Amino acid sequence: MLSLGLGLLVVLGLTEVFLSARETYASQRSSASLQEDARYVLSKIAQEVRMVGMFGCLSTDRIIDAPSAFQRPISWQGPKGSRSLHMISADIGLQGAKPDWTVISDCTTFAQAYSGARLSLAPGEIAFALRELHYRFENGQLKSGANNAVLLDNVAAFDVSFGVADSSSTQSVLRYEDSPADVAGIRSVRIALVLRDPGGRVKDQGYNVLVALRNRLA
């Protein structure tokens, strides 16, 4: 009886260790999966943010027929719980799809915007393909594109704020705002993402990325 009791205790101990190890593995796997999802989404958005305001060689006010959307190439708008990040970004990694606009320029004296793609170029001209991008946070999902395709599920929070300088001539960020009145003062974009494990194995995981703008927005 004593041997049987000791054997039972050993078996129960080993079972407890196994179950604990399995739970730890499942938690680590869930955490790694959330981290991978966040890395993919944030790196994708960050790459597009860096190209915001890239309308060619000349300033926006010198582009003939430039649409009004060029005046505010990035914004974070909408009611709380259903907000959207809108960007006009240079075409990167999207070969084969039609751009929303094309800016043709000789990079010295001339630049003109055209709707859609434009393949014919005169000698010395360069074409800059531009896209209007949308990211919407709604009902626990991060959606993208005009058709609101689901990019990521299990999103507990998605927030965007803009690092703003005190004047258009300075680089240092003075404060962060949701909707700056003057886009010329925007120097960086801060994106915060919180993901939730659908299995409840780990706590909500928060991720942040701060992206400096490469191009002046006005």
The pLDDT score that the predictor gives to residue 11 is: 59
* Residue 88 resides in a domain: yes
Query: Which residue segment(s) compose the domain that 202 sits in?
Result: 31-212
* Residue 180 resides in a domain: yes
Number of domain units in the chain: 1
Give whole-number Cα distances, 20 to 6, 25, 105, 202, in Å.
Answer: 21, 9, 64, 14
* Residue 186 resides in a domain: yes
* Residue 4 resides in a domain: no
Between 218 and 72, the more confident residue is 72
Give whole-number Cα distances, 79 to 37, 93, 148, 161, in Å.
Answer: 25, 31, 17, 15
Single pTM value for the model:
0.82
Three-point CA angle 169, 175, 179, nearest 5° = 90
CA-based nearest residue to 125, from 138, 115, 112, 134 = 112
* Residue 51 resides in a domain: yes
The pLDDT score that the predictor gives to residue 96 is: 52
For residue range 153-193, what is the model confidence (pLDDT) as tens digits?
Answer: 999 999 999 999 987 778 888 899 988 888 888 999 999 99
The pLDDT score that the predictor gives to residue 184 is: 86
For residue range 60-96, what is the model confidence (pLDDT) as tens digits?
Answer: 889 999 999 999 999 998 887 778 999 998 875 555 5
Cα distance between residue 48 and residue 87, in whole Å = 8
Between 22 and 172, the more confident residue is 172
Task: Round the average pLDDT of the chain to a whole number and report it.
Answer: 85
Top mean pLDDT of 8-17, 95-104, 106-115 is at 106-115
Lowest mean pLDDT segment, chosen from 95-99, 104-108, 115-119: 95-99
DSSP at 180: -
* Residue 22 resides in a domain: no
* Residue 15 resides in a domain: no
Yes or no: say if 178 and 75 are a contact pair by the CB < 8 Å rule: no
